[in-house]
Amino acid sequence: MKWMLMVLAGLVVLPVWADDVSGDLARIQQRWAEIQYQLPEDEQETAFESLADDAGAMVAHYPDRAEPLIWQGIVLSTYAGAKGGLGALGLVKEARASLEAAVEIDPAALEGSAYTSLGSLYYQVPGWPLGFGDDEMARQYLQKALAINPEGIDANYFFGDFLMEQNEPERARAYLKKVLTVANRPGREVADRGRRTEAQRLLRRME
């Protein structure tokens, strides 16, 4: 069972809105990156559990916005990866529900990040009867994400990783190499550095 859920580094630079949602999202993003890339693994589960509570409160505060739902899905997914095992199945189902709700509100929010997150869930979660994993659904969602944001560091990373899983190494290599060359996201230095390190690790595995 694959529970190294990598979902999902700060997916895009946040736009500036008139209300406070951008500040709340930025705090969730920053804390996510710190936990994912700087905290020891044995401390991550508890930290993600706390961050999931914060993300839930943000969704409750902005019930009509897609962006908080996307980040709730991201946090729950990575919390599931840190938790592991059958106990994580409920979390990934909650994450999927949040991401699907975000798509219903605005599929292009955060440059299509809900599609990236859904795609990564569908190829990393076990299939029936344990979970809802589905490689074809994963491919469709990840391609939708790339159609919206072809230069996205996460959209390219996860499609590259998916293609490796599908035994398509040459195609995978092209997307993973792009991760190393796309523009940095202002304010997302920790997340971008961590994602590029992951891409380099995958590329070395293909050598």
pLDDT, tens digit, for every residue of 186-197?
888 999 999 999
The type of residue at 73 is G
For residue 1, what pLDDT is reported? 41
pTM across the whole model = 0.90
Report which DSSP code applies to 13: P
Q: How far apart are CA 82 and CA 8, in angstroms?
A: 13
| Mean pLDDT value of segment 118-143 | 96
Q: What is the pLDDT of residues 149-183, one digit of tens each?
A: 999 999 999 999 999 999 999 999 999 999 999 98
Q: What is the pLDDT of residues 1-16, one digit of tens each?
A: 444 455 444 444 444 3
For residue 62, what pLDDT is reported? 96
Q: How far apart are CA 98 and CA 117, in angstroms?
A: 10
- Identify the three-state secondary structure at position 175: helix
The type of residue at 4 is M
For residue 2, what pLDDT is reported? 43
Give the domains, in start order, of the chain with CATH numbers: 21-149 (1.25.40.920)
Q: Which residue has the tokens 């589905």?
A: 134
For residue 22, what pLDDT is reported? 87
